[in-house]
Amino acid sequence: MTNEKILFRVAVYLLLIKNDKILLLRRFNTGWKDGKYTLVSGHLEGNEAIKQAMMREAKEESGISLNAKDLNVIHIMHRKSNDNFEYIDFFLTSNKWKGQPRITESDKCDDMNWFPLKNLPKNTLPHIKQGIEDYFKEVWFSEFGSPDV
C-alpha cells in the first residue's frame, strides 16, 4: 500500500440470462485479453449515469435496447491492477430487452453466444466469472486481483 492517490475507471457489465443460459461475447482485435469471453460491457463516459452507460453499451455491442427502469445493479467489484488505475465494476441485469442480441462490432468481437450458466467457457475472463458466480451466491460486493495482477 502506498500514500499515492489512485485513479479509478468505472465499467458496466450486463448479465443477460435466458433459459438458464447467459450471453457472452469473445473479445477480438482489441489489444486486451483477445480470445477471452466477457459480458456485454464498457466504460462510463463523462457525465454518464451507470444505467445510461449500460443502455448505451448494450445497444453498441449487441444491438439490443434496454430501459433504465428494468436494469438492476446486482454486484459491485473493486478490481485492482498493476496499471496506474483501478476499476469499480458495476454488474447489472435486466429481464426485459428489445431486439435479438447480435454482433454489432465485428472489429472487436468474433463470437456472441448463449452459454449454460453452470458451464461457462474455460476462456472466460476471471473477473467476469467471479462476478457471475457472486451474483448467484447473492454476494453484492467483491474484490478482485492484486497489484501483482
Segment 53-96, tens digit of pLDDT = 999 999 999 999 999 999 999 999 999 876 677 999 999 999 99
Residue 10 gets the label, from left (phi > 0), alpha (psi -120 to 50) or beta, of beta
Q: Which residues pair with 114 in a beta bridge?
A: 23
Class for the domain spanning 7-144: alpha beta
Q: Beta strands of the chain (E only): which ranges?
A: 7-15, 17-18, 21-27, 37-38, 40-43, 71-79, 85-94, 109-116, 141-144
What is the number of residues in the chain?
Answer: 149
Cβ(75)–Cβ(67) under 8 Å? Answer: no
Task: Give me the pLDDT at residue 107, please.
Answer: 92
CA distance 121 to 124: 6
Task: Give me the pLDDT at residue 34, please.
Answer: 86
Of the two residues 81 and 106, the one the predictor is more confident about is 106
The answer on pLDDT for 1 being more than 70 is: no
Domain spans, the chain: 7-144
Task: Give me the pLDDT at residue 2, please.
Answer: 64
Share of the chain above pLDDT 90, in %: 83
Average pLDDT, the chain: 93
Segment 18-45, tens digit of pLDDT = 999 999 999 998 887 889 999 999 999 9
